[in-house]
Chain A
Amino acid sequence: MKMKEVSIPSGANLTAIYRELVGNYPKFFKMDTLSKLGFLLTEMLVGDDPGRFTPREDRAVLVFSRNGCLANDLNYAKSMEDFPSPALFVYTLPNIVAGEISIRNKYEGETSAYVLEKYDRPLIDGIVRQAFQDRITRDAIVAWIDCPSDTEWTAMAWIETK
C-alpha cells in the first residue's frame, strides 16, 4: 500500500519551510543540508500522525542517494584548512540524516543509508521490500535525497508499508 509522496524543490528556502512546519526544534539549525532535507521531508509525511513521538521500533528509516553527504564533506574539508570542525565532522556520514529523523520522531527501529549509481526506483523498491524481512518492521520512511551541494538537490520521500 502506497501513501503520499512529498518533495522539496531544489534550492528552496529550508529555514522558511522549517518555520512554517515546525518552529520549535532549534537542533535543526545545527544540521547539514542533507539532514535538514530529511528532517523536513519527514515532517511533511508524519506531521499529522496520531500518537507521534511515542517511541516505536516498527518503523524503519531508509535513505538513498548517489552522493551521500558530499556537500557536507566539502564543507568539512574546507574547515580542515583552518581548524577541523567537530560540528561539521559528525555530519560526514550518509546515515546521520536517518539518525536525526529517528531522534526527532523516537523511531527506534532499523535505520540505513544506501548509495546507488542513480535514482533507480525498482532497485530502491526491492531493497525496501527486503528490509521488510525484519520481524518487527511494519513500515518505512523511504527517501531519495541527493545533495551534492548546499544549493542544489533532489529530495523526495514516501512511506512504504509491509
Chain B
Amino acid sequence: MTKVYCIGEGLVTPLGSTVEAVLDAAREGLSRRLFEKRGTLSGASFFEEIAIEAARKATRGMEMTPRTGLVLSTTKGNVEHIGRADISLAASARNIADAVGITTSPIVVSNACISGIAALLQGMRMIRSGEYDNVVVVGAEVHSDFVHSGFDCLKALSPEPCRPFDKDRQGLNLGEAAAAIVLSAKAGPWEISDGVIRNDANHISGPSRTGEGSYKCLRYVMDGIDKEDIAFVSVHGTATPYNDEMESIALHRAGLSDVPINALKGVFGHTLGAAGILEAIVSMAAFDKGIVLPTKGFHEMGVSYPVNVSAQERPAKGKLFIKLLSGFGGVNGAMVFRKGGAL
C-alpha cells in the first residue's frame, strides 16, 4: 500500500505562528487559548483568514497541481455569523481552496471533536487512492458565543485552567487555532501509517462507560505495530470527568497502561476541529527534539484505571506515537505517526 507522508506543516495559534515558537511555549508550560486580535485584513472571515494562513504556511514553496486536494476539518466554521451570512462549511472550504490555489472540489469533514483525525484519514485515503498527488488538510476553529454557550449549558466548562486526568479536574476550556498538514506519497520525515474511526453506538453526547469505540480504535491500529515502538500516546484529555475516565479504560483494555501518555488541552484549550491536527504537529515537533511534552494542569491521578501520564517533560523512546480523539456523536479516532519515512 502507498505510504503517506507529511511534507508540510503550518500553525496559527495564540501561542505563536511557527512550529518552533509553539513547541517552546508548550515546553515552558505557557498557556494561551484565545487570539488577542481578531481583526481581518483580507475581507475573509476571521475563521477563514487563520485557516488560509495555516494552509499557506504548510504549502510554502509547493506547487499546486490539478491533483492537489483540500480537506477542511472544523466543527462550526463561521457559526459566529449565523443568521447574517451563508455559514456553510462548504463555502468556507471553497474560499480557502481558492486562496491557496487548489482547484479540485474541497471536502469538509465535520465529525465533532475527532474532525482533525477524520480529515487526516480522509487525506491519507485520497493519496492511497492514487487520484491525488498531495492533499492539504486544514483544521480551524474560532471562539464563538454559539459554541461557548452550548458547552456552558452542558456544564462542561471549567471555571479554572483545565486539568487533564487530574483528580480535581472540572471540565474543559475552549481554545481557537488553525493548523495544516500537507500529505503526499513523496517521502517526508513523518509517515502517517494508519488511522481509524469507530463509533461507541451508545450515546450522542456521553462517552461509552467501557471506552468501546476508543478501545476498538486502539486495537485496530495496534494490529500493525509493536508496543515497544510506541513513544507515547497523545490522548484527547479534555479534562471533563467522563472523557478522561473513558480514555483510561480504553488504554487499559488495549494493554497500554504503562505507555507514556500526554494531553495538550492545558496548553491550547480544546480547539475542536483544529485539535487533532494542531496536537499532531506539536507532538511530531516534540518527538523530533526527543521529548514527550508535559501534561499541563495534571498533578494527581484522577482516573480509576492506571495510566502513565507524563506530568513533566521526559525523553521519548520509540519509533512512533498514536494520536487519540473522541467526540460527540459517539465518535472516536486514532492515528499512527511514524518517524523515519525515507529521510
Q: Which of B15-23, B84-92, B185-193, B295-303 contacts A (4 or more CB under 8 A)?
A: B84-92
A95 touches B331 (CB 8 A): yes
B153 touches A86 (CB 8 A): yes
Q: Which chain A residues lie closer than 8 Å to B198 at the CB level?
A: 57, 108-110
Measured between C-beta atoms, what is the minimum distance from B275 to chain A in Å?
14
Measured between C-beta atoms, what is the minimum distance from A136 to chain B in Å?
7
A113 touches B107 (CB 8 A): no
Query: A68 and B88 in contact (CB under 8 A), knowing A115-B93, A126-B131?
Result: yes
Is B252 engaged at the interface, CB distance under 8 Å to the other chain? Answer: no
B153 touches A84 (CB 8 A): yes
Measured between C-beta atoms, what is the minimum distance from B236 to chain A in Å?
16
A93 touches B75 (CB 8 A): yes
Is A130 engaged at the interface, CB distance under 8 Å to the other chain? Answer: yes
Is B125 engaged at the interface, CB distance under 8 Å to the other chain? Answer: yes
Report how far A126 CA is from B90 CA in the complex, Å. 17
Measured between C-beta atoms, what is the minimum distance from B7 to chain A in Å?
20
Within 8 A of B (CB), among A65-114: 66-68, 70, 73-74, 76-77, 80, 83-86, 89-96, 98-100, 102-103, 105-114
Within 8 A of A (CB), among B154-168: 154
Is B237 engaged at the interface, CB distance under 8 Å to the other chain? Answer: no
Q: Which chain A residues lie closer than 8 Å to B14 at the CB level?
A: none
Partner pick for B129 among A85, A117, A129, CB 8 A cutoff: A129
A77 touches B83 (CB 8 A): yes
Measured between C-beta atoms, what is the minimum distance from A109 to chain B in Å?
6
Count residues on chain A whose CB falls below 8 Å from chain B CBs. Answer: 54
Query: A115 and B329 in contact (CB under 8 A), knowing A74-B82, A110-B199?
Result: no
Q: Which chain A residues lie closer than 8 Å to B200 at the CB level?
A: 102, 108
A90 touches B205 (CB 8 A): yes
A80 touches B220 (CB 8 A): no
Partner pick for A113 among B111, B126, B213, CB 8 A cutoff: B111
Task: Describe B's contact surface by its main secondary structure.
Answer: mixed
Q: Which chain B residues lie closer than 8 Å to A115 at the CB level?
A: 88-90, 93, 108, 110
Chain B minimum-CB-distance residue to A86: B153
A134 touches B110 (CB 8 A): no
Query: A96 and B328 in contact (CB under 8 A), knowing A120-B105, A131-B125?
Result: yes
Partner pick for B107 among A70, A92, A98, A114, CB 8 A cutoff: A114
Q: Which chain A residues lie closer than 8 Å to B145 at the CB level?
A: 80
Measured between C-beta atoms, what is the minimum distance from B211 to chain A in Å?
12
B216 touches A108 (CB 8 A): yes
Within 8 A of A (CB), among B317-343: 327-331
B201 touches A135 (CB 8 A): no
B108 touches A84 (CB 8 A): no
Is B202 engaged at the interface, CB distance under 8 Å to the other chain? Answer: yes
Within 8 A of B (CB), among A37-88: 55, 57, 61, 66-68, 70, 73-74, 76-77, 80, 83-86
Report how far A105 CA is from B330 CA in the complex, Å. 13
Chain A contacts to B: CB under 8 angstroms = 55, 57, 61, 66-68, 70, 73-74, 76-77, 80, 83-86, 89-96, 98-100, 102-103, 105-118, 120, 123, 126-127, 129-131, 133-136
Q: Which 3 residue pairs of A and B lie closest in terms of their CB atoms, listed nearest first?
A: A99-B329, A89-B150, A130-B125
Q: Apart from A67-B88, A117-B90, list 9 A-B contacts with CB within 8 A.
A: A80-B145, A86-B150, A89-B153, A93-B329, A96-B204, A102-B199, A111-B330, A111-B331, A130-B129
